[in-house]
Amino acid sequence: MSSAVSVHVSVNGEAREAEVDPRLLLVHWLRDELGLTGTHVGCDTTNCGACTVHLNGESVKSCTVLAVQADGAEVTTIEGMSGPDGLHPLQAAFREKHGLQCGFCTPGMIMAAADLLNRNPDPTEEEVRHGLEGNLCRCTGYHNIVQAVLTAAESEVRA
Amino acid sequence: MIPAEFDYVRADSVDGALGALAEGGEDAKLLAGGHSLLPLMKLRLAVPTVLVDIGGLDELRGVERENGGWRVGALTTHATLQDTDELGVVARAASLIADQQVRNRGTIGGSLAHGDPASDLPGVLLAFDGSVTARSGGGEREIAAADLFQDYLTTSLGADEVITTVNMPALEGYGWGYEKFTRRAEDWAMVGVVALVKASGGGCEDVRIGLTHMGPTPLRATAAEDALRGGPLDAERIAAAAEHAADGTEPPGDANATPDYKRHLARVLTRRALESAAAGAA
């Protein structure tokens, strides 16, 4: 085995340290070693976006990031989205607008949508669709997901 | 899918990276954003024994205007390019690469060094007559885009070299157009076309057309350029010039498109890209 590398990562605001095999993928570290199973593995080929998390505030596909590449970074997963007041506005909007059916893609969708709204707080429907191109949903046909993101944007813009 | 085992070196300077690369031998690879390399490693199509991670070298990031041109640090992400409106067609092309998650990680230097003829930025660099600055233990050299792309996934970069900067002329006053045809949203281009046009007095003073995925390397549509340059810049002349966009090309057929269909796409997309560029140049 190649020699282990130490990583220091802030995960959902909590400092975590580990000695990892260089080939360990970030998604496997989060799920298998930290128990954060809200981040899903879908395609495992950088296509579907189910594994999307935030690395220093930007959405990334954690199946295509090595855990060692996250050293010194801040990682946010779906578990870190809800605050003391309950659901994140995107989570609430997905529930209100029926933006999920089986729910497998939902954590990645919400993390991608959060990046989208950080970049563009008041997007058009077309901008939402372009911004979510990296996330596949096999149930909904996307319509209610787009509605949910627009609803969350409205509530944030009003707030 | 899990990559094969490798040793990992985190570089803290370009010189440190060059040293680790030399020490690692022929199976050592540089890791930047990793969005071309890691998928290949997961499929075991690439099996480097050492990865030299240059992702932390902030001195290789950033976009600067210098001497009438752009100097873009090799580690600048596609997301940064897409947000830099002053870059014009470079920003537009970057905004259409894969999806936002990929653009947040993928870098301009990594994409150019990978040399995939289906990627967006190689054709753009070629249309600009841009270059890359590469450093090795032996010093620094500038490689013109026309000399960089040698064959499918093959560039003229040495195994001991690292791209530090990507250089492009600003091309003030040029209008631009970018057209990319894909079957699905986040796909590579079936065919892509970048067009740059400079107008003067209703005529076409200069035109550059770059083609993506029309051969083993990005190409210039020189026959279409020659047909338009020096003449009037109107819809009729643009349409006639675009008919030459695929002249001399031998695009590879694949599951999405036959060679003939790709030539058809090149002609149609060139006309559209030239129309946008001409409108912007007027």
Nearest one of A69, A43, A45, A44 to A56, comparing CA atoms: A69
Place of tokens 């003449």: B231
Q: pLDDT grade, residue A2 (50/70/90)?
A: confident
What's the residue count for chain A?
159
- Fold held by B7-53: 3.30.43
Is A57 in CB contact (< 8 Å) with chain B?
no
Distance from CA of A91 to the nearest CA of B (A): 20
Mean pLDDT of A65-70: 98
Q: Over 70: is that where the pLDDT of A1 sits?
A: no
- ipTM of the complex in this document: 0.96
A95 and A75 in a common domain = no
φ, ψ at B121 (rounded to 5°): -75, -30
* Closest by Cβ to A116, choosing from B2, B83, B100: B100
A103 and A73 in a common domain = no
Q: Over 80: is that where the pLDDT of A81 sits?
A: yes
Place of tokens 């022929």: B26
- pLDDT confidence of residue B185: 87
A13 and A38 in a common domain = yes
Distance from CA of A112 to the nearest CA of B (A): 8
- The domain that contains A103 carries what CATH number? 1.10.150.120
Place of tokens 């060059």: B18
Q: Which two tokens stand for residue B51?
A: 């990865």
A97 and A58 in a common domain = no
Distance from CA of B40 to the nearest CA of A (A): 10
CA nearest A41 in B: which residue?
Answer: B1
A12 and A74 in a common domain = yes
Q: Which of A55, A80, A105 is the last residue of a domain?
A: A80
CA distances from B255 to A143, A144, B183, B222, B258 (A): 29, 32, 11, 28, 8
- Can you name the residues that pair with B193 across neighbouring β-strands? B179, B211
Torsion of CA A116, B84, B118, B276, to 10 degrees: 100
**Cβ–Cβ of B6/A116 closer than 8 Å?**
no
Mean pLDDT of A145-156: 95
Alpha-carbon distance of A64 to A66, in angstroms, equals: 7
Q: Over 80: is that where the pLDDT of A156 sits?
A: no
Q: Over 80: is that where the pLDDT of A158 sits?
A: no
What's the residue count for chain B?
282
- pLDDT confidence of residue A159: 58
- State pLDDT tens for residues A118-143: 999 999 999 999 999 999 999 999 99
> A68 lies in which domain range?
5-80
A12 and A54 in a common domain = yes
Q: Class of B62-169 per CATH?
A: alpha beta
Name which of A23, A126, A127, A146 to mutate to probe chain B: the one with the most chain B Cβ atoms within 10 A of its Cβ: A23
Is A60 in CB contact (< 8 Å) with chain B?
yes
**Cβ–Cβ of A69/B31 closer than 8 Å?**
yes
CA nearest B105 in A: which residue?
Answer: A60
Mean pLDDT of A150-158: 87
Positive/negative CA dihedral, B44, B47, B51, B53: negative
Alpha-carbon distance of A52 to A43, in angstroms, equals: 12
- pLDDT confidence of residue A85: 83
* Closest by Cβ to A112, choosing from B1, B31, B101: B101
A113 and A73 in a common domain = no
* Closest by Cβ to A58, choosing from B1, B38, B104: B104
Q: Per the structure, how many domains does chain A have?
A: 2
Name which of B99, B180, B187 to mutate to probe chain A: the one with the most chain A Cβ atoms within 10 A of its Cβ: B99
* Closest by Cβ to B8, choosing from A68, A116, A133: A68
**Cβ–Cβ of A133/B99 closer than 8 Å?**
yes
Alpha-carbon distance of B80 to B83, in angstroms, equals: 5
Whole-number average pLDDT of chain A: 96
A-chain residues near B31 (CB < 8 A): 66, 69
Q: Report whether B104 contacts B35 (CB < 8 A).
A: no
Q: Report whether B213 contacts B262 (CB < 8 A).
A: yes
Each residue's pLDDT, cut to its tens digit, for chain B (282 residues) gives 999 999 999 999 999 999 999 999 989 999 999 999 999 999 999 999 999 999 999 999 999 999 889 999 999 999 999 999 999 999 999 999 999 999 999 999 999 999 999 999 999 999 999 999 999 999 999 999 999 999 999 999 999 999 999 999 999 999 999 999 999 888 999 999 999 999 999 899 999 999 999 999 999 999 999 999 999 999 999 999 999 999 999 999 988 899 999 999 999 999 999 999 999 997
Tell me the residues of B at the A interface, defined by beta carbons under 8 Å apart: 1-8, 10, 31, 34-35, 38-39, 42, 51, 53, 55-56, 79, 83, 98-102, 104-105, 185-186
- pLDDT confidence of residue A84: 86
- The domain that contains A46 carries what CATH number? 3.10.20.30
Name which of A64, A110, A111 to mutate to probe chain B: the one with the most chain B Cβ atoms within 10 A of its Cβ: A64
Q: Class of B175-281 per CATH?
A: alpha beta
Q: Tell me the domain boundaries of chain B.
A: 7-53, 62-169, 175-281
Alpha-carbon distance of A49 to A133, in angstroms, equals: 9
